[in-house]
Amino acid sequence: MNSDAPSIVWFRDDLRVADHPALHAAVERGAPVVCVYVLDEESPGIRPLGGAARWWLHGSLTALGDALGALGGRLVLRRGPADRVIRSLVDETGAGAVFWNRRYGGPERELDAGLKQALHDDGLIVHSFAADLLFEPWTIRTGQGTPFSVFTPFWRACRSAPEPRHPLPAPHAIDSADAATDDLGDWELLPTRPDWAGGLREAWTPGSDAAHERLREFLDDDLSAYAKGRDEPAKEVTSRLSPHLRWGELSPYEVWHAVRERRSGGEGAARFLTELGWREFAWHVLFHAPDLATRNWRAEFDAFPWPRLHPSALRAWEVGRTGVPLVDAGMRELWATGAMHNRIRLVTASFLTKNLLIDWRRGEQWFWDTLVDADAASNPFNWQWVAGSGADAAPYFRVFNPELQATKFDAHGEYVRRWVPEVGTDDYPEPIVDLKATRDAALAAYEHVKAAR
Q: Is 253 annotated as a binding residue?
A: no
Residue 336 parent element (H or E): helix 325-337
DSSP character at residue 123: T
Least gap, CB of 202 to ligand FAD (angstroms): 17
Work out how close the CB of 374 gets to ligand FAD at its nearest, in angstroms, rounded to a whole number: 4
Q: Would you say how long the chain is, in residues?
A: 453
The residue (of 26 and 349) whose beta carbon lies closer to ligand FAD is 349
Q: CB-wise, 168 or 286, nearer to ligand FAD? A: 286
Q: State the minimum distance, in angstroms, from the CB of residue 182 to ligand FAD.
A: 27
Alpha carbon 335 to its chain centroid, in Å, reads 17
Number of Cβ within a 10 Å radius of residue 30 = 11
The answer on whether 272 is annotated among ligand-binding residues is yes
Report the residue number, 373 or 392, with the smaller CB distance to ligand FAD.
373
Has 239 been labeled as part of a binding site?
Answer: yes
374 is in an annotated binding site: yes
Indicate the residue among 40 and 373 with the shorter CB distance to ligand FAD: 373
Smallest distance from ligand FAD to CB 368, Å:
7
Integer Cα distance of 268 and 266 in angstroms? 5
Q: Is 238 annotated as a binding residue?
A: yes
**CB distance 30 to 2 below 8 Å:** no
In Å, the largest CA–CA distance within the chain is 75
Look up residue 73 and give its DSSP letter.
-
Comparison of 56 and 99: residue with beta carbon closer to ligand FAD: 56
241 marked as part of a ligand binding site: yes
Edge-to-edge strand list for the sheet holding 97-101: 75-79, 33-39, 7-11, 97-101, 125-129
Number of H-type helices and E-type strands within the chain: 19, 5
Question: What are the residues binding ligand FAD (CB under 6 A)?
Answer: 230, 238-242, 245-246, 275-276, 278-279, 282, 342, 345-346, 349, 367, 371, 373-375, 378-379, 382-383, 386
Asked if 389 and 383 count as a contact pair (C-beta separation under 8 A), the reply is no
Of 176 and 239, CB closest to ligand FAD:
239
Closest CB 279 distance from ligand FAD, rounded Å: 4
- Minimum gap (Å) between residue 24 Cβ and ligand FAD: 23
Is 240 among the annotated ligand-binding positions?
yes
**Comparing C-alpha atoms, which of 418, 206, 235, 430 is closest to residue 332?**
418
Binding residue numbers: 226, 238-242, 272, 373-375
Which amino acids are annotated as binding site for FAD, given as ranges? 226, 238-242, 272, 373-375
